[in-house]
Structure 1
Amino acid sequence: MVRKLSLNLFMPMGCLMGAAVLLSACSGEDVSRAFGLKRSMPDEYTVTTRSPLSMPPSDSLLLPDSNATRPQEQSIRQQALEILSPDVALERNKDVPSEGQTALVQQATQSANQNRQHELMIDNGFVDQVMFWNSGKPSDLAVDGAAENKRIHGNLSLGVSPDHGATPTTDKK
């Protein structure tokens, strides 16, 4: 009985001592700040203030004119059509081109009306220049498949590298 009592008494005491040892590795300031025992004050140089609200130069508003037209308001019929079919709102200004569309059409028209004979000259492209760099035109020779296969198998049976020897070619027909 004495043994169980002493074990039950020392177990919580040992846990507290272990926690104290672990917490002793932390600096006292960090622990007290973590548990909220010490307040962290803001730096007076990093605090910013907002500018005070300012009043507009004139606080008098003009009364609306009851006879003035209001372009943003639509008739009740038009509002109902837009609710039922949203495409109606998109088609409202369909016939009137925007300034950007007008400018693009003008530029395209000017470009189409210019004389472009110099652009129609046939020129060998970059790929043609790279592929046919020797003569500037495609070669009339082609690889003879059967003879090439026979040459490669012969090289392999002799233990020679497959790229040894000339590649057999034939004329294109």
Structure 2
Amino acid sequence: MTGKTNMVMRISTTQRSGTTGRRRGRMVATCAMAIGAALGLSACGSSLSESLGYGKESPDEFAIVTKAPLVIPPDYSLRPPRPGAPSPRETSPHAVAQQALLGSSIGAGNADSRTAGEQTLLANAGAIGADSSIRELIDDETRALKHKDEKFLDDVLFWQKPQEPNRVVNAGAEAQRIRENQAQGRPVTEGETPDRDDSEGGGLIDYLFN
């Protein structure tokens, strides 16, 4: 019995040592893989944070802004500058956008340079006979709709008609009119009664004593 017990204990000890060895081997392999990955990232010429996308990189201004290509002048004499005139090599933003969207060369937007497919597409879309003043027409219609909406809103909120301002009779001008009518033998009711314009008055004193 004692021999069998010793043999079982030896087998258990051997199994435990084998399991511990396998665990240590896995840990060593994991550490080695992590160290190798870190060394691989650092060997690319950038830090680990930049490789993971945490670093900030400013855009290259020369890769964004496009300049017209340089040309060789016909001679070495300096040309007189023209103040305010655009550069002959600079193209308009409209032409650049047309080239980027349509893929055609700048300045080749006439009907002769269009392909059969482009002409068919423009004809089906109704763009060949398009009105050149369509923007002004849309602006006028938008302003008319906006004015109509404002009038409808005013009618809903302020449904009562605005009262006319009280008329203040100009006493001096009215007396002068009556005297002229009496002197000419006309009725005193003939003629228009003059109103007082407070904007031309002398203030509170003239209002009290007139």
TM-score of the pair, normalised by structure 2? 0.21
Larger proportion of helix: 2
Higher relative contact order (CA 8 A, sep 6+): 1
TM-score of the pair, normalised by structure 1? 0.24
